[in-house]
Amino acid sequence: MTEYVGKRVLIATGIFYTDDCTRWDVQYVIHHIRFCELGSDWGSTVDTLAGNLLKNTDVAGQSINDFVGSANDKDESNYIFSKWGTASKNFASADYEVSASEGALIKTRNEELNVENCVFLYSKFAIAEQNSYLRFKARGFGGNIPELAVTVYSLGAGGEVVEQIITPDISAFDLNGNQVTNMGGGWINGTWSTDNYTQFKWDLSDFEGENVVIMIGLRNTLGGENKIAIQEIHLGSAADGQSAGKVTA
């Protein structure tokens, strides 16, 4: 579409129904739509996705900081799956459910445990003092929560993409009767004694003044289908709650 550079365009993709078709003949599923530079490796890694979002200055960060995830909220302008994207390690198999009443549900592939079997929820933000703390409420299933982490992508001084995993301060979490364990390297998991939601908190203040891509990810360390349901996501100031973990390289 290089001939349209500098122009405002309307793009349409669709399918056509004829008298010879059944309703099963006229279906197709769009997994991802992305715009990127000519020659870029648009879909091979999560790093590539984050880099494209950061370097494309036409893609603004989110203008809202509160998001809801229940299926009952699907028509809301701040519904998580309307404002956050999903991706897997190689974009081949990110999975999610929009009909879960428990919240925005993301899950790994249903297979043997494999730490490379990951799924991510991501979005771009301009971080300032008023939205420098990330909090979200989530629950697990089957008495446990898979390993999860929050990764922040930013641009370095030379324009390179810098990936940083936030080390959480579990003491800042509102566990609500559940247990969370630090697995090292920024990854945590948990044991769910109830169906209550834990509120997770991370400190993003090191990124104030920057555009970043935030990825909430989980990986398959339990085997089968690893999943969490996120009820709400909030980016606020330090005054909104306790301090959380700092960033490690």
70: CATH: 2.60.120.200
Going by C-alpha positions, the residue among 188, 200, 196 that lies closest to residue 234 is 200
Q: Is residue 157 part of a domain?
A: yes
Looking at residue 89, its pLDDT comes to: 64
The pLDDT value given to residue 246: 40
pLDDT at 112: 66
pTM of the model: 0.80
For position 24, what pLDDT does the model report?
63
Find the angle CA(48)-CA(212)-CA(209) to the nearest 5 degrees.
Answer: 150
Grouping H, G, I as helix, E, B as strand and the rest as coil, residue 71 is helix
Does any domain span residue 182?
Answer: yes
Residue 32: the pLDDT is: 63
pLDDT at 205: 93
- Would 161 be classed as within a structural domain? yes
Domain residue limits at 192: 43-248
Which residues are bridge partners to 182 per DSSP?
188
pLDDT attached to residue 152: 95
What is residue 111's DSSP assignment? B
Identify the pLDDT of residue 248: 35
38 lies in some domain:
no
Spatial contact of 136 and 229, defined as CB atoms under 8 Å apart: no
Number of domains in the chain: 1
Q: Is residue 108 part of a domain?
A: yes
Taking 70 as the pLDDT cut, the residues of the chain under it are: 21-26, 31-32, 34-45, 89-94, 112-113, 193-194, 241-249
Determine the pLDDT at residue 249: 30
Residue 4 lies in a domain: no
Q: Which residues contact 171 (CB under 8 A, 6 or more apart)?
A: none
Residue 7 inside a domain? The answer is no
Residue 17 belongs to some domain of the structure: no
Rg, Å, the chain Cα set = 19
- Total residues belonging to the chain: 249
* Residue 238 confidence (pLDDT): 80
